[in-house]
Chain A
């Protein structure tokens, strides 16, 4: 008994669809019932959100292609300006049903043009009697385009007066999209995360042809046992599974164990996976290096990860500039005299200590400071005399560039030469 049932589509197709989207049957059937029959008008805009790799893009793509619904699929990151986005939609629409026909270059700068051209294209393509779906992946990028783009897409059906449904896919909730002036509210739909059972089911579905499904399922089970704590990303898990599978098979290939020796296989793979978690998963070493290591049978300890190379050599004054910047951003100005002057006044100890105990400056974060203060502190912390040469000043600037990479970052504020270091 198939979970998916819809009078408009043949049941064989639905069955095929169901096998393609495991663990997402309820969402698909929900979508199908919203879509209705091919010629029916559907809801003008649908907003689908869910965590990374919860199958949003994949489900939409399979659904639309399997049922052969006319659709346009656009990634908003890739088409970073509104012009590129709109033109891409039109191009895809042109080639949508006309197939191989050479498309003429489209020029579409504004939404007004888009609506006009959109109507034109639909008229020429005999698509009027079907719902056209426009899927905008990574829709959060729309917020950064012109203010009219997002509201217009939400009510595109009304604007064009055509049978069209816009589907927005995003990782963040609708509340973060809503413009302050209000807009048409789309139908929102949530794709929940896959549970461990789901992951197991989906991952073991695609087993290598040389080995039995059970063998692979056991492997996936071990893999999830190690990685589920840190990673629930389906794509990443699949990647890791593919990377380490050859190691898992090793005893079987060598004939030391058969496919059912789960314990032996587990003993072989478990430490290996743990090492993978500390290295490949964190991208400390790359997957190709990992594969080469596996092939050569080397120890992962030989390869140093990215974070092993933290040592950095700096010119003498650059070091002191950094220290000075740090001091200037965390010390309050009033203590400068006390710390950096030889003959400062008396300190009222108790008073000072009391104030100090209240809040740690590190909790408050770094504060902006003027450039002159930075240099004054530099002159006082360097042992010998520092000539205020052009090189020192250019070093201050070079550090600006440099410090992007260091944790303590200097930031020039636009008007005044005020700088700020960020947390250490």
Chain B
């Protein structure tokens, strides 16, 4: 598979339409074809960036699923150990031959399952068995369809494995085969026998990978949606033939494994030998993705705070789907490279340097138009200001420097963010959020040290105990050491110094305490009268109240202050950085419109305020009035908003004709006649039926000349 196309991820489930879409996309990219804006180059950059990200996400997915797939493989390999070996052991005769079944709990993010299953079946076909069938509930409303689907998939996969030469004997058209278990069994026998008899030299690779009698794996992708009867029948049938064909079932479960017992009665579930496998939770998956894609300086492209929040909210509030998150991310990339001419500079540092110098004059003007750049210019002294605004080459030099600054800022930002997260994630009640993504959003939004949450988390951090503090510092040191740059050498040194101070503290404290206790005891041991005793006790009390900070507390303050200083220095929100528009995508509204559309609202706007979409000055209505120039359906819609649950068609028609006629005959002489013009009548009928089509009204049975409203509310 080639991974160099932009539209690839978007249409990953419809490979057939890929080509056409691709050409469309490229055309779109080029359509505002000003050469000066480097469209071509932007397109290429976008493609390469996306292909990098795509391979990265696939890698992550693979790594995360590895454990699950390994477990499943070992389960499959021990599922039919003694098939064909005619064991005469006593227990085997007495026990049922249960069907080995894997219950795969995948979580509610149904959209992600497809990818998991495809990966799974690929791995199975490579390592265990060529006979894997994937069944969808929507294809199997009855047992007949299920058997058809199953046999179709199994027998096709056989053709793939075998080379073309035996095609004639295997390829029987599907409707001629009797879709029943016996024919499946005879097929299986013939297939396994064939691989046995084949000369080993000819078929070594394929037969060495699989065993003599590879199991037949049937995967039910979405077990919840299968009807009970189909499942039951299939299980009963296959349990009767389990001696003849080594079946293994895999149930994909979106909710909880209890569903098995709810779908299958005991008499059926007792035919299964169910083992449970659980996939990683989608939230963990998302954190890994965010960790690897967003909180890294590897990729030049960044998401703005609002955009990130939109993506995360869709994930948490709606679907829990990591695939959708990644697609959203892809959309952001596309949108950014498409709409921002300067995104040509959004690439790796080395390339960016070269590209800066080849920028056209128009692009330089674009840079000058950037709000962040203008702010920057205003801060400069007047001579430099003029240079920046008039001299292109000077601007380019400056831009290069600024881009480098931005890059350094990112690297530092991520490291310090992680350090801060180490602290905030262990505080009680998590004032800055438990996950690093929340902290990231907070830091991007505005200056985090000015928020109340930050203040309270610092307060809490000042109350941490020593062991926690030490481990956190150690973690921070590790994080900072992991970076390649030299920026943090001093910081690391400082932190290490603090750590040693903590260790010394232990020794010092112990000795000090001993001193104090001894001296106080000595004092008390002295012979005293009541007055003196009272006096000493009071002194003790006094000293305790105004107790000086211990060394540990001093040190703790120092640590927290140091962290605070780091935060103030490095976690500046990206909006404040010059040229941030080049790498940050901030168009949250566009994204929301694409990913989380509101069809009802859009429909209402279109009907209520046609000017919004049609951009016709004549339609611009003043206040709540109804313009007669609006399309008929809009007039009818507005009139219907004024009615109750049932609408009298005659009244409606009269109102409609009044509105329409209002402009045409302002005198109103002819309009007073009862007769309604035929054209108007026809227009009205058409508009009403359009409304019915859109689902706003329906004919009512209560009164024949009325229609019922299906929506609430009015103007």
Closest beta carbon of chain A to B244's beta carbon, Å? 13
**CB contact under 8 A between A208 and B90, given known A81-B144, A387-B598, A405-B256:** yes
**CB contact under 8 A between A317 and B178, given known A75-B240, A372-B712:** no
Chain A binder among B260-268, B497-505, B517-525: B260-268
Asked whether, in the complex, the Cβ of B178 is within 8 Å of the Cβ of A87, the reply is yes
Which residues of B in the span 84-109 have a Cβ within 8 Å of any Cβ on A? 90-91, 93-96, 98, 100-101, 103, 105, 107-108
In angstroms, Cα B257 to Cα A312, docked, is 10
In angstroms, Cα B98 to Cα A388, docked, is 49
Asked whether, in the complex, the Cβ of B94 is within 8 Å of the Cβ of A78, the reply is no
Q: Which residue of B has the minimal Cβ distance to A317? A: B317
**Contact partners of B179 in chain A: CB under 8 A:** 84
**CB contact under 8 A between A401 and B255, given known A84-B180, A209-B90, A306-B276:** no
Asked whether, in the complex, the Cβ of A287 is within 8 Å of the Cβ of B273, the reply is yes
Asked whether, in the complex, the Cβ of B95 is within 8 Å of the Cβ of A52, the reply is no
Pick the residue among A88, A242, A309, A401 that contacts B94 (CB under 8 A). A242
**CB contact under 8 A between A306 and B270, given known A79-B180, A390-B597:** no
Asked whether, in the complex, the Cβ of B256 is within 8 Å of the Cβ of A309, the reply is yes
Closest beta carbon of chain B to A280's beta carbon, Å? 10
Pick the residue among A313, A316, A393, A405 that contacts B259 (CB under 8 A). A405
**CB contact under 8 A between A241 and B94, given known A307-B261, A389-B597:** yes
In angstroms, Cα B597 to Cα A392, docked, is 10
B253 within 8 A of A: yes
B225 within 8 A of A: yes
Pick the residue among B224, B269, B272 that contacts A404 (CB under 8 A). B224
A80 within 8 A of B: yes
B533 within 8 A of A: no
**Contact partners of A392 in chain B: CB under 8 A:** 318
B600 within 8 A of A: yes
Interface residues on B, range: 35 or more
Asked whether, in the complex, the Cβ of A401 is within 8 Å of the Cβ of B597, the reply is no
**Contact partners of B108 in chain A: CB under 8 A:** 312-315, 318, 402
B123 within 8 A of A: no
Q: Which residue of B has the minimal Cβ distance to A286? A: B273
**Contact partners of A289 in chain B: CB under 8 A:** 275
**CB contact under 8 A between A283 and B180, given known A80-B143, A242-B94, A313-B283:** no
Q: Which residue of A has the minimal Cβ distance to B137? A: A401
A236 within 8 A of B: yes
Q: Which residue of B has the minimal Cβ distance to A243? A: B95
B337 within 8 A of A: no
**Contact partners of B181 in chain A: CB under 8 A:** 78
In angstroms, Cα B182 to Cα A129, docked, is 30
In angstroms, Cα B103 to Cα A98, docked, is 45
In angstroms, Cα B93 to Cα A242, docked, is 9
In angstroms, Cα B237 to Cα A88, docked, is 15
Asked whether, in the complex, the Cβ of A306 is within 8 Å of the Cβ of B260, the reply is yes
Which residues of A in the span 385-414 have a Cβ within 8 Å of any Cβ on B? 387-393, 395, 398, 401-402, 404-407
Pick the residue among A242, A313, A390 that contacts B91 (CB under 8 A). A242
Asked whether, in the complex, the Cβ of A309 is within 8 Å of the Cβ of B314, the reply is no
Asked whether, in the complex, the Cβ of A309 is within 8 Å of the Cβ of B275, the reply is no
In angstroms, Cα B324 to Cα A391, docked, is 12
Closest beta carbon of chain A to B149's beta carbon, Å? 14
In angstroms, Cα B96 to Cα A376, docked, is 53
**Contact partners of A286 in chain B: CB under 8 A:** 98, 101, 272-275
Closest beta carbon of chain A to B692's beta carbon, Å? 15
**Contact partners of B236 in chain A: CB under 8 A:** 77-78
Asked whether, in the complex, the Cβ of B275 is within 8 Å of the Cβ of A401, the reply is no
In angstroms, Cα B101 to Cα A402, docked, is 21
Closest beta carbon of chain B to A341's beta carbon, Å? 13
Which residues of B in the span 61-90 have a Cβ within 8 Å of any Cβ on A? 90
Which residues of A in the span 249-289 have a Cβ within 8 Å of any Cβ on B? 282-283, 286-289
B281 within 8 A of A: yes
Asked whether, in the complex, the Cβ of A78 is within 8 Å of the Cβ of B597, the reply is no
B543 within 8 A of A: no
**Contact partners of B315 in chain A: CB under 8 A:** 315
Q: Which residue of A has the minimal Cβ distance to B278? A: A309
In angstroms, Cα B143 to Cα A81, docked, is 10
- Encode B150-182 as 1/0 by CB contact (under 8 A) with A: 000000000000000000000000000011111
Closest beta carbon of chain A to B71's beta carbon, Å? 13
Q: Which residue of B has the minimal Cβ distance to A387? A: B598
A43 within 8 A of B: no
**CB contact under 8 A between A77 and B233, given known A289-B275, A309-B278, A313-B107:** yes
- Encode A311-334 as 1/0 by CB contact (under 8 A) with B: 111111110000000000000000
Asked whether, in the complex, the Cβ of A405 is within 8 Å of the Cβ of B266, the reply is no
**Contact partners of A313 in chain B: CB under 8 A:** 107-108, 281-283, 320
B663 within 8 A of A: no
Asked whether, in the complex, the Cβ of A402 is within 8 Å of the Cβ of B255, the reply is yes
**Contact partners of B258 in chain A: CB under 8 A:** 306-307, 309-310, 405
Q: Which residue of B has the minimal Cβ distance to A210? A: B90
B482 within 8 A of A: no
In angstroms, Cα B182 to Cα A78, docked, is 9
In angstroms, Cα B432 to Cα A116, docked, is 83
B702 within 8 A of A: no
Q: Which residue of B has the minimal Cβ distance to A290? A: B273
In angstroms, Cα B258 to Cα A282, docked, is 12
The 7 closest A-B pairs by CB, nearest first: A242-B94, A405-B255, A405-B259, A405-B224, A208-B90, A306-B257, A286-B273
A-B residue pairs in contact (CB < 8 Å), sample of 18: A52-B267, A75-B237, A80-B143, A242-B90, A242-B95, A286-B272, A286-B274, A288-B98, A288-B273, A288-B275, A306-B261, A309-B258, A314-B108, A376-B712, A389-B597, A390-B599, A391-B314, A401-B254
Q: What residues of chain B have their CB less than 8 Å away from a CB belonging to chain A?
A: 90-91, 93-96, 98, 100-101, 103, 105, 107-108, 110, 143-144, 178-182, 222, 224-225, 233, 236-237, 240, 253-262, 266-267, 269-270, 272-276, 278, 281-283, 314-320, 596-601, 710-712
